[in-house]
């Protein structure tokens, strides 16, 4: 039964060079019609796949803060009406495009957590990755948010960027800590298809840090944040105690959630689904059927077992053996005995306290570890 809601807002005023999420330029798009479709989809999902209570809502993109204040008011009002949220309620913002009017709307609707796409502090680096904000916009957005009592703030950072050095990343971490926010998400750059960076990479025109430099940046990230009182609770996420992202934990705990909007993914009643990505196709689908789904898949028992392992291992606390047994009637130590022992001997996994989790070395080779649990 779904416990969370993800809403995708695919509109952007500027397309970042690394982004492969479903997005389009805002100008000329049928935004109001899109929001009406989202409202209809919300209601239809709840009708077909009822739930008892929604614990978290997350509005991502794209750039949700690219919406006007009136459009935000419409979207947030619909979410409150349909889902009656009582827990964590997050919206993504870009520095510089969430003015006080929008922040007032956000606060009044009951949003209680912000995720701000900072990525870096250096002007040249921001320009190289296609970001349009400046360092001053970061401080202004956070200061304005705090005026409205929006103190539960997470910021996104990136490392392994073109021309980024270890010293530059150290400066980014120092400035990020000075913001005194309670949560950080920090991701290494991945070159994804259909992005500007992918085109440049294919042409040999993208100067990236060496692998050992990227590893050093991740090492620095872990050491710097943990020594400053942040708890690393997932491969890329660090929070003060009590400020972990409850919504993202829904994914890593392999729990169900509604996905709303163009290109959104959801997991309801044992079924994973993906919505149509093109805006007009999504709107047409919702108009005709009430839902935006174009791909649906009933998850098999084997797939659920695999997902329980590789999603759970993203968390630093790892996979609970007792929870696994409750869900599947057997122990992961029996199903994956050879794999777990092999990875343990390699120093990539630990098994203690009723949990299977990545070691410090395992964090750096996580994808290789996850592959071992695909049956």
Q: Comparing C-alpha atoms, which of 197, 278, 184 is closest to residue 16?
A: 197
Residue 163 is assigned to a structural domain of this protein: yes
| Average of per-residue pLDDT across 281-289 | 98
Residue 180 is assigned to a structural domain of this protein: yes
Of the listed ranges 43-47, 83-87, 313-317, the one predicted with least confidence:
83-87
* Number of domains comprising the chain: 2
Give the range of the structural domain holding residue 339, as residue numbers without chain letter: 315-371
- Quick check: helix, strand or coil at residue 162? coil
Alpha-carbon distance of 56 to 233, in angstroms, equals: 18
Q: Where are the alpha helices (DSSP H) in 109-165?
A: 123-128, 135-147
Residue 280 is assigned to a structural domain of this protein: no
pLDDT in tens, 319-371: 999 999 999 999 999 999 999 999 999 999 999 999 999 999 999 999 999 99
Residues 234 and 100 in one domain: yes
CATH number at residue 166: 3.80.30.20
Residue 26, classified by CB atoms within 10 Å of its CB into exposed (0-12), middle (13-18) or buried (19+), is middle
Write the DSSP assignment of 283-301 as a string of letters: HHHHHHHS--EEEEEEPPH
> Residue for token digits 């401080």?
139
As beta bridge partners, residue 25 has 12
Alpha-carbon distance of 54 to 57, in angstroms, equals: 8
Q: Where are the alpha helices (DSSP H) in 56-194?
A: 69-83, 100-108, 123-128, 135-147, 166-178
Residues 328 and 235 in one domain: no
Residues 62 and 181 in one domain: yes
pLDDT in tens, 226-242: 999 999 999 999 999 99
Residues 231 and 319 in one domain: no
Residues 326 and 240 in one domain: no
pLDDT in tens, 5-46: 999 999 998 888 888 887 898 899 999 999 999 999 999 999
What region, left, alpha or beta, does residue 259 occupy, with left being phi > 0 and alpha being psi -120 to 50 degrees?
beta
CATH number at residue 336: 1.10.10
For residue 7, give both structure tokens. 């809403």
Can you give the C-alpha Rg of the chain in angstroms?
A: 21
Domain boundary among 252, 274, 307: 252
**pTM: predicted TM-score of the whole model, two decimal places:** 0.96
Residues 241 and 325 in one domain: no
Would you state the pLDDT for residue 197? Answer: 85
Alpha-carbon distance of 325 to 2, in angstroms, equals: 21
Residue 291 is assigned to a structural domain of this protein: no
């Amino acid at each position: 039964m779904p416990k969370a809601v993800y809403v995708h807002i695919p509109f952007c005023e500027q397309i970042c060079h690394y982004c492969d999420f479903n997005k389009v330029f805002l100008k000329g798009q049928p935004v109001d019609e899109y929001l009406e479709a989202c409202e209809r989809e919300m209601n239809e999902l709840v009708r077909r796949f009822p739930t008892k209570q929604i614990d978290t809502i997350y509005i991502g993109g794209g750039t949700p803060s690219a919406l006007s204040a009136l459009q935000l008011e419409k979207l947030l009002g619909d979410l409150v009406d349909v889902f009656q949220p009582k827990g964590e309620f997050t919206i993504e913002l870009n520095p510089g495009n969430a003015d006080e009017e929008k922040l007032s709307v956000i606060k009044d609707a009951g949003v209680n957590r912000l995720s701000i796409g900072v990525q870096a502090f250096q002007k040249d680096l921001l320009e190289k990755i296609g970001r349009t904000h400046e360092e001053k916009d970061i401080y202004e957005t956070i200061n304005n948010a705090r005026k409205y009592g929006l103190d539960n703030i997470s910021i996104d950072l990136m490392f392994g960027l073109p021309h980024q050095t270890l010293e530059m990343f150290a400066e980014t971490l120092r400035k990020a800590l000075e913001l005194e926010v309670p949560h950080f998400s920090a991701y290494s750059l991945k070159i994804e298809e259909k992005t500007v960076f992918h085109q440049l990479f294919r042409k040999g025109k993208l100067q990236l840090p060496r692998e050992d430099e990227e590893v050093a940046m991740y090492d620095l990230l872990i050491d710097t944040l943990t020594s400053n009182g942040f708890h690393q609770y997932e491969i890329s996420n660090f929070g003060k105690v009590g400020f972990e992202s409850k919504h993202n934990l829904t994914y890593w705990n392999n729990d169900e959630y509604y996905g709303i909007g163009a290109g959104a993914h959801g997991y309801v009643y044992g079924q994973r689904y993906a919505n149509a990505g093109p805006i007009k196709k999504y709107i047409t689908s919702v108009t005709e059927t009430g839902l935006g789904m174009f791909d649906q898949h009933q998850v098999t028992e084997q797939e659920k077992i695999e997902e329980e392992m590789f999603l759970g291992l993203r968390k630093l606390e790892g996979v609970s053996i007792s929870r696994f047994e409750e869900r599947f009637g057997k122990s992961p130590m029996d199903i994956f005995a050879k794999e777990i022992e092999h990875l343990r001997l390699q120093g990539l996994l630990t098994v203690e306290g009723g949990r299977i989790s990545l070691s410090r070395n395992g964090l750096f080779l996580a994808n290789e570890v996850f592959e071992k649990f695909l049956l």
